[in-house]
Amino acid sequence: DQQVKQNSPSLSVQEGRISILNCDYTNSMFDYFLWYKKYPAEGPTFLISISSIKDKNEDGRFTVFLNKSAKHLSLHIVPSQPGDSAVYFCAAIYTGNQFYFGTGTSLTVIP
Amino acid sequence: GAGVSQSPRYKVAKRGQDVALRCDPISGHVSLFWYQQALGQGPEFLTYFQNEAQLDKSGLPSDRFFAERPEGSVSTLKIQRTQQEDSAVYLCASSPRASNTEAFFGQGTRLTVV
């Protein structure tokens, strides 16, 4: 049973525009959420996170929004750059010792 | 190096063969995790160590999978009598604390069982 879902397998955005990646979850016990970025043949790299007590966290061009009532979070990248092209994984935690990952969204930023 | 190191990067095994995958975590990191990532899927949790103690192995898919971290640093994931469905990328991650909110991943070992 997939507890974290990324329903868009791919997304293409023009350079300079906003990229919005979405993630839905089913387990209301999740209390910490993360986004990881993955290039081919590399391991996932931590990007940004948010605690369930917050609804927004911002780090440079990256902002994560959390809507607990909708069990939905999103990652905004503004402005998008070609180097942002990668697979983005949403992950959630509640037990403190394992991530529950989504299936990933492949972002392509077109120059 | 400064990051999590996994070896080998690629492994091809004949069905029925035993394999051992190694993870060198970041020095001093308390927590170590193993994940399995099948093609087109997100990583799925296998097991978790806090120092040398294996605190959670609920994600190991069968008793053919075994992990150890005897001295609280390097970890080995062993798969006995490999089967085709074991083909995946195996990711190791480490974290400086007991919680994994700052987990750093290695590049993974791609296992192909033929």
For B46-58, how does the pLDDT look when each residue is reduced to its tens digit (9 = 90+)? 999 999 999 999 9
Residue in chain B nearest A38 by alpha carbon: B107
Closest partner residue to B100 (CB to CB) among A42, A44, A96 is A96
Instruction: Calculate how close chain A gets to B9, using CA atoms only, in Å.
Output: 9
**C-alpha dist (Å) from residue A76 to A43, A47, B85:** 22, 12, 36
Strand partners, B63: none
For B24-33, how does the pLDDT look when each residue is reduced to its tens digit (9 = 90+)? 999 999 999 9
Q: Which chain A residues have a beta carbon less than 8 Å from that of B41?
A: 103-104
Q: How far apart are CA B44 and CA B91, in angstroms?
A: 9
For A22-49, how does the pLDDT look when each residue is reduced to its tens digit (9 = 90+)? 999 999 999 899 999 999 888 999 999 9
Residue with tokens 């075994």: B66
Averaged pLDDT score across all residues of chain A: 94
Q: How far apart are CA B43 and CA B88, in angstroms?
A: 10
Q: How confident is the model at residue B103 (pLDDT cuts 50, 70, 90)?
A: confident
Q: Which regions of B25-87 does DSSP assign to beta strands (E)?
A: 31-37, 44-50, 53-56, 65-68, 75-79
CB B88 within 8 A of CB B111: yes
